[in-house]
Amino acid sequence: MIQTYQATLPHGITLSCRAAGTAHAPRVLLLHGFPEAAFAWDGVMQALAPHARCLAPNLRGFEKSSSPAEVEAYRARHLMQDIEALIAHSGGPVDLLVAHDWGGALAWNLAAMRPELMKRLLIINSPHPATFLRELRANPAQQAASAYMNFLCRPDAEALLTENDFARLWPFFERMGGKTWLNDDLRARYREVWSMGLTGGLNFYRASPLRPPAPSDPRVAQALQAVQLPEALVTSRVPTAVLWGEGDHALLRCLLDGLDRWVPDLRLTRVPQASHWIVHEQPERVVEEIRRNLAAG
């Protein structure tokens, strides 16, 4: 049984949350990405519920969570503050932080700067900031794969993505195997969430300097070159597992090269038959990986 509630945090942000599980069991926090929402974790949480206490928030800007209007409000420090406050609100440090896509961007930062908030980290197809910066600066293949990010930063992106029943959003799933799992019920759930507004999710991209150079806007390349990532601020300080669907067309396998430089306690599992959407394609594989990390606790 999935429970829903609104978590009102001390700094004025409210996060719409989904929860499942057993009281006094190991605590698992699950963070989603774009263009998803917390409900993407429902099947995983239900499978874990007999032996874990799971919480999946909608990140700021998504679903019924607070959606500040200013792009500045989606800088990493504000997003991290939300998760730090939610962890405190929900009972303190978690046994395992699980994160995908944009949720992973937050989780990498937390593992480096607030490691006391978690015992272990599980990243699912979300690039480490240092390898992402490296590849965006120098790798034409990753630059091309990430070009969609600049489209999502356009001022008219909301209107373009919404028109014709979200015709430009469905391919985010369908081009990487979505036709095998994106059934009518899931489509209806995505329509419902997307109809609540896309601006918050798009502001994650607008607020970040980590996107590929744009031929039409030299400021994007200038912002990318100006990024400084001191090793102390990007080195994971907790045991970290990475589960990576190798059929990810947006985040290429080169992002895993040299990862152990910034993740000293790393266990990397590659899944050749999965894409960026491995949580939907192989939920049982994701559940298995979560259980393995909890057992290693």
Name the residues annotated as catalytic. Answer: 101, 205, 276
Residue 179 phi, psi (nearest 5): -65, -15
- What are 36-41's contacts with CB under 8 Å, separation 24+? 36/62, 36/100, 36/101, 37/62, 37/63, 37/190, 37/193, 38/62, 38/63, 39/189, 39/193, 40/100, 40/279, 40/280, 41/279
Residue 61 phi, psi (nearest 5): 95, -10
Residue 155: both structure tokens together: 């001022």
Other CB atoms within a 10 A radius of the CB of residue 72 amount to 11
Other CB atoms within a 10 A radius of the CB of residue 100 amount to 25
CA 248 from centre of chain: 14
Residue 154: both structure tokens together: 């356009």
Residue 123 phi, psi (nearest 5): -105, 135
Residue 35: both structure tokens together: 């263009």
